[in-house]
Amino acid sequence: MEHAVFLGIGVLLAMIAASGFRPRFALPAAAATTEIVIKARPKRTTMKATAKEKAVYALDYFFATEPGSKAIILLAICASMTTIGGILFSKASYSEGEELPLPDSLWSAWTFISDPGTHADVPGIRRRLVAVPLTMGGMLFFALLVGLMSDGVSARVDHLQKGASIVIEENHTIVVGWTPKTIPLVKELTVANKTRGLKRSIVILGDKDKEDMDEDLRTALPNAERNGSKIVTRSGVPTETSDLRKCSASMARSIILLSPPGLAPHEADALVLHQALVLAYLSELKADLVVELAELDNVNLLKQILSSLMNSPSKELPSSLKSSPLVSSDPTMLLKAGERIQKMVPVATGDFVMRMLVERALQPQIAAVAGELLHFEGSEFRFCKWPELVGKTFGEILFLFDNAIPCGMRKTRPNSDGGFTLINPPPETVFEEGDRLLVISEDEDSFKPGESRAPQNPRVVPNVEKHSKEVLKVLICGWKHDLKDVLMLLDNSVAKGSEVTILANTHIEDRLKELKSSASFHALKVNHRHGDPLSKKALESLPLENYQKVIVLADQNRNSSHSATMTAMFVRHIQMQRGKKDAVIVAELPTSQDDAIQQVQKTWLNDSVQPEQLQAMVLAHLSEDSDVGAVLDEVISDYGSSLTLRSISTYAQPGEEFDFWELQARAQQLGDLVIAYKCAEDENRWMLNPDHKSKILSWTMTDEVLVLTRPKSTF
């Protein structure tokens, strides 16, 4: 009976151990190890190896631990052959009646080894018996030597092909990471170099093999399309100091850290933040850092981390963080002549994609202009210094440039909101010493201040049109982790009573949990529907005829190009069947080089946003001038001075004729700054930063104007 009890207890304990469960009473909490008796230890025996085994083992260890082992072995064999052959040749000569000194015998042995034809003239059978084996051994020796040298040269070439050499460049741009947006980013940087007349090199540090990166670049960006820019690739890890030095990070002008694909947003940001902080505290680093983040909340988090490190006493910081970070603890400090502040610019490029989707859905007419502002080919935002403008007001500066449009200033000291950039400031704002002027222009050399073009007596604009927000019904197909930012942007852009319906496969409970952290919506009512946006049945269950705007998001778990196109096709088809033909459908689509696919997409879509291309343009602008980031952040937003569409009726009466300068003066009365217009008389296409600003145009009430609004202005 006792044996059965003990056996049962043993089986029970074995089952518990097999299941991985350890009850609290089984072992003390501190017991991390234990002892288990296997069997009695046998008596230790001595290994007996043969001489051959010992020799092979020693030779194997020598080859494994000595870098030049092959060359050393070959030299040893050659020396042995020469020595032994010389001694034998000396004895053979002596036996045949000729006394040959040992040094001469050694030299003869070497000539037999090095020259296969030397033994042909050797007299005497005994001496020939020594010379022939030496000649054959020499042929084998030199064959092995040539093979060894060939392998060494080949290994060295392969080593160099893999990017082992140090990049000898200065004032270059480093792109850290190989992602789907790397090649579009490099393309934008080459265009930027071309428009600025520069020959800056672009260095890519990726975790992919160098040969594969070079092949992808040759396919997507041939040498003829690189605009004269040198593109260098290196394989490595961004957090390794040796790999950063291999890219000459200390001599770089700017470094762009790309968010890695295939990771959850918080995991990707953790990796990028780690890379950024490692770079920020490299004492020899002089480059500005552009840090791409997946989560918008982490942009402010990075600023807080650096701020807390800067404001902490040095004695409280770890010894590894003694060097100064890239963000100045005193943003108001004045620089000496020639000095330059290093900056770290965190940016959530995905947020720009979402904003552009919303802008193209709400104001589809401005898509072309907004896109041109982000391209380096054509007019773009840029900062420039004009010392001769010091003391002038912004209202005066606005009419001094024929080939550019002044849009604001970059001040040397922060304003009341803590920012340095003023977009469309009040006309009385004075341009001070050290300030930089923000303009829209084609390049840096195409404009300069001239005589004032301000109208003498601009007509006072009567009856200001009230620009009220619309009550809209919006359908969003798909779900993303940062969709709450889209909803907040919509909430600030539409009138009270508007609704947005979200159709996605994501569970409604998970959506509500993520949206719970965001502020409550004031004008927007959010409805959730669970379903597959690719299912026509799920779409037909919705009142699609009631939606004026449809936004289709890319599904990261599918082929986003096909899924977005099919969803848009289903929505358009169902709406047309129900009599709704004027809905605006925009979609998030990957970059495609296939013209047929693009044509199919245009059939169903009013507009689309290519995430990788748009993100690449934003990153390239920040790399060229990090101050442009604050401009893009404000103009493509729902706050501050944003891009807004106006009817010409806001500034003109039917049938009036006047030029761009008169239009600008009238807009200034209302706090607007005109950057583009679309006039029926001027080919009815958008003219951004028009060349002939003094051209008289006849305005009709169908014409439109794109302006930058003044913050907190009322109409």
Q: Would you kindly state where each structural domain of the chain is located, as residue ranges?
A: 59-161, 173-327+342-347, 473-610, 639-715
Q: Is the pLDDT of residue 496 over 70?
A: yes
pLDDT in tens, 151-161: 878 877 776 67
Alpha carbons 696 and 365: distance in angstroms, whole number = 24
pLDDT in tens, 306-351: 666 555 544 444 433 333 334 443 444 444 444 456 778 888 888 8
Alpha carbons 525 and 529: distance in angstroms, whole number = 13
Tokens describing residue 505: 């496969």
Position 498 scores a pLDDT of: 93
DSSP type of residue 389: G
Q: Is the pLDDT of residue 517 over 80?
A: no
Q: Is the pLDDT of residue 261 over 70?
A: yes
Grouping H, G, I as helix, E, B as strand and the rest as coil, residue 592 is coil
Angle at the Cα of 330 from the Cα atoms of 324 and 336, rounded to 5 degrees: 85
Beta-bridge partners for 205: 176, 234
pLDDT in tens, 292-311: 998 888 887 777 776 665 55
Position 661 scores a pLDDT of: 94
- Output 619 or 156, whichever has higher pLDDT: 619
CATH number listed for the domain at residues 473-610: 3.40.50.720
* Residues ≥6 apart with Cβ < 8 Å to 144: 74
Question: In this structure, is the dihedral angle defined by the CA atoms of residues 586, 590, 595 and 601, taken in order, positive or negative?
Answer: negative
Mean pLDDT, to the nearest integer, of 378-396?
A: 91
pLDDT in tens, 91-144: 888 888 788 888 888 898 888 888 888 777 788 888 888 888 888 988 888 888
- Residues 672/707, Cβ–Cβ less than 8 Å: yes
pLDDT in tens, 522-556: 889 999 999 999 999 999 999 999 999 999 988 76
Alpha carbons 360 and 370: distance in angstroms, whole number = 9
Q: Is the pLDDT of residue 2 over 80?
A: no
Position 336 scores a pLDDT of: 44
Tokens describing residue 179: 């992602």
CATH class given for the domain over 173-327+342-347:
alpha beta
Position 334 scores a pLDDT of: 42
Specify the fold of 59-161. Helix Hairpins (1.10.287)
- Residues 176/249, Cβ–Cβ less than 8 Å: no
Tokens describing residue 201: 């090199």
* Residues ≥6 apart with Cβ < 8 Å to 330: none
Q: Strand 697-698 to strand 657-658: parallel, antiparallel, or no bridges (unpaired)?
A: antiparallel
Strands in 505-591 per DSSP E: 524-530, 549-552, 584-588
Alpha carbons 374 and 46: distance in angstroms, whole number = 77
Give the chain's mean pLDDT. 81
CATH class given for the domain over 639-715:
alpha beta
In 3D, which of 471, 473, 470, 468 has the Cα closest to residue 580? 473
Position 341 scores a pLDDT of: 60
Q: Which of 15-24, 177-186, 410-419 holds the top average pLDDT?
A: 177-186
Position 45 scores a pLDDT of: 63
- Residues 395/431, Cβ–Cβ less than 8 Å: no
Beta-bridge partners for 528: 502
- Residues 586/552, Cβ–Cβ less than 8 Å: yes
Mean pLDDT, to the nearest integer, of 186-213?
A: 89
- Long-range contacts made by residues 129-133, C-beta under 8 angstroms, separation at least 24? 129/92, 130/85, 130/88, 130/89, 130/92, 131/89, 133/85
* Residues ≥6 apart with Cβ < 8 Å to 10: none
Position 427 scores a pLDDT of: 93
Q: Do domains 59-161 and 173-327+342-347 have the same CATH topology?
A: no
User: Over the Cα atoms of the chain, what is R_g?
Assistant: 37
Q: Is the pLDDT of residue 77 over 50?
A: yes
Mean pLDDT, to the nearest integer, of 552-566?
A: 73
Mean pLDDT, to the nearest integer, of 69-77?
A: 85
